[in-house]
Amino acid sequence: MFRGISLANKCLLLFGGAVAAIVLAALMFPFFRMNSLVDEGQLENSRQMVDHWEQAERQIKAAVIALGGTNVITSRPPQPQRYVFGDEEPKPGTEGYAGVPAVRVGLVDAQKLAESDRFVARALEALAKDAKRADFQQARWKGTKREYRYAKAVRADVEGKQEVIGLVLLDRETGEPLRLLLINTAYLFSAGLFVSAFAVLVFYLITHHLILGPVRTLKETAESVRQGDLRIRSEISTGDEFEELAETFNHMLGDLEGQQAQLRAINAAMNLKLDEITASNSALYEAAKLKGDFLANVSHELRTPLNSIIGFADLLLEIARTELAAGDDSTRLAKRVRFLENILNAARDLLEMINGLLEMAKIEAGKYELRIEKVSVQETCEALAGLIFPLASVKGIKVNLEIAGDLPLIETDAKKFRQIVFNFLSNAVKFSPTAEEAGARAVVTLRAERLMGARPGEEPSAAESDRVRISVIDNGPGIAVEDQGKIFEKFSQLSRGHTREHAGTGLGLTICKELAGVLQGELQLVSDLGRGAMFSLMVPVTLDTNRLRESEAEAKFRGALKRATAVG
């Protein structure tokens, strides 16, 4: 209602309305009282007119008696004239004695008149009820004139009581009350207007000097503070709450100025730190670039001589084994075979590390390529089980294969799919203890099953409602719950137990995690110390082409961003 109106105008509107209402209410009583006084004055006029009429009547009667009862007054006959009621106009020559249109009626005539005239009835009732009451008057508006009907009691002593024996009636109209009413209204309206204007003026001066002045000062100070000037202070000396508010505001500004100075000092220190961090980041980016170039170049260049070393070592080992099998059982030949086996194993481990580094570098650079095709999960699992069987047999580990009968063909990259599952199998064989170490034969199980339904908390879609889970289960030492997140980090290996006995870069599971994301799948680990472990890969039966394009675009963007950052 008052939106967009200033505080000063709101105060004037509210106070002006309140003053007008108060003045109007205060003038209502004088207005009605003045009207009542006008009627009372007219009542007194009626009394005087009737008294004058009675005096004239007595004088005429006395003159008639003195003349022997002969009516010598022809212009005004002594008998009472006919009384005129209601809206009927008086007839000429009936204005009564002394020019007063009054008439005297007896009690019987008055009672007859009361049957048709309510005024006469009310007058008789009021005068009979109060013996001390001398008259009765009734007034009403008749157009622009005021009609006054007056009745005066004629009493006589009847058995010691003053009883009404007749009435003197007077009926007249006059415009004087309207004139007096207009004059009184004009005076009252002028007085009310003057009082209201004076009150509004006084309130305006009070509010502008005592209230709105300090408010404007505080507003100007706040506006200067909003523009950034914290050195300004509010100067208000009113000796009231406004002065206390100004002092509080000034204290707040002082605190803000001090805090701003502290913040500037902190920002300066942070700028220095930021410069140092920027320099350190530049050095780190440069080191990362050098590391990436070094790994890419060195790893690539090392693969060629390593393949030669592995080839020649394998050839020499085959020759030594042939000679040993031919009957040469000298100690020198047996040592040669053992040394060649060590060389071959170390070279293969080194080649595996180099391949892992190159694979991780490709994934981070977004340079991997996907070859989507229909893959038989059963055939893939059987081939991988056959591939891992020789390594498991050396350690005396049993390999079980559990394949569900309702497995469909899946859309995926066969090479990356096999790489993830084979990494799970090789880790299970690598970290499972031998029968001598554990006191029982270790078992590695490769299980494939179909999953129906969407992931928890997700809406099912064509790509996610039907999935396949491939799990590798072992009964080895297991992994503690607090360590399960660490094994998927780069270059991370657990230090407890016998796990550190096996060499490796710690990139195998990290690569598996990245490849699973590329294949729109996910990894799952369920394990605990002393209870073995179950590594699972869950992939959709049908790839989501939209997600596939998004993943490729994101991988390329990450690679470009990393290269740009390294260059910067």
Residue 368 amino acid letter: Y
Q: pLDDT class for 375, splitting at 50, 70, 90? A: very high
User: Under 8 Å CB-to-CB from 355, ≥6 apart: which residues?
Assistant: 303
427, 523 in Cβ contact below 8 A? no
Distance CA(141)–CA(169), nearest Å, equals 19
429 and 394 Cβ atoms separated by less than 8 Å: no
3-state secondary structure at position 149 = strand
Looking only at the bridges linking them, the beta strands covering 135-142 and 145-158 are: antiparallel
Residue 478 dihedral angles phi and psi, to the nearest 5°: 80, 175
DSSP 154-221: EEEEETTEEEEEEEEEEEEEESHHHHHHHHHHHHHHHHHHHHHHHHHHHHHHHIIIIIIHHHHHHHHH
CA dist., res. 263 & res. 417, Å (int): 55
At 374, is the secondary structure helix, strand, or coil? strand
CB atoms within 10 A of CB 150: 25
Single-letter code of the amino acid located at 430: K
For residue 74, pLDDT beyond 60? no
Partners of 135 in the β-ladder: 152
Distance CA 62, CA 48 (A): 21
Count other C-beta atoms under 10 Å from residue 228's C-beta: 8
pLDDT higher than threshold 80 for residue 138: yes
Beta bridge partners of 407: none
pTM of the shown model? 0.45
Nearest to 566 by CA among 275, 297, 281: 281
Contacts of 563 (CB under 8 A, 6+ apart): 365
How do residues 325-348 score in pLDDT, each as one tens digit?
777 666 777 788 788 888 887 887
Query: How far apart are alpha carbons 141 and 148 in whole angstroms?
Result: 9
Retrieve residue 359's tokens.
């694979």
The sign one gets for the Cα dihedral 489, 493, 495, 499 is: positive
Query: What Rg, from alpha-carbon coordinates, does the chain have?
Result: 61
Q: What is the rounded distance in angstroms from the CA atom of residue 453 to the CA atom of residue 461?
A: 9
Write out the two tokens for 108. Answer: 């019987």
Whole-number pLDDT of residue 438:
65
Percent of the chain's residues with pLDDT above 70: 80
Write the pLDDT tens digit of every residue in 26-51. Answer: 778 777 777 788 878 888 888 888 88
Backbone torsions φ then ψ of 442, nearest 5 degrees: -75, 150
Q: Is the pLDDT of residue 252 over 60?
A: yes
φ, ψ (nearest 5 deg) of residue 474: -130, 165
User: Quick check: 474 and 427 in contact, CB under 8 A?
Assistant: no
What is the model's pLDDT at position 307? Answer: 79
Q: What pLDDT digit, counting tens, does each position of 276-318 carry?
A: 888 888 888 777 667 666 666 666 666 677 778 888 888 887 8
Task: Enumerate residues 6+ apart whose C-beta is below 8 A from 499.
Answer: 431, 477, 493
- So what's the pLDDT on residue 539? 92
Question: What CA dihedral angle connects 490, 492, 479 and 381, to 10 degrees?
Answer: 50
Domains and CATH numbers, the chain: 7-186 (no CATH), 369-567 (3.30.565.10)
Which of 32-41, 403-412, 552-561 shows the highest mean pLDDT?
403-412
Specify the higher pLDDT residue, 249 or 108. Answer: 108
Q: How far apart are CA 175 and CA 184, in angstroms?
A: 15
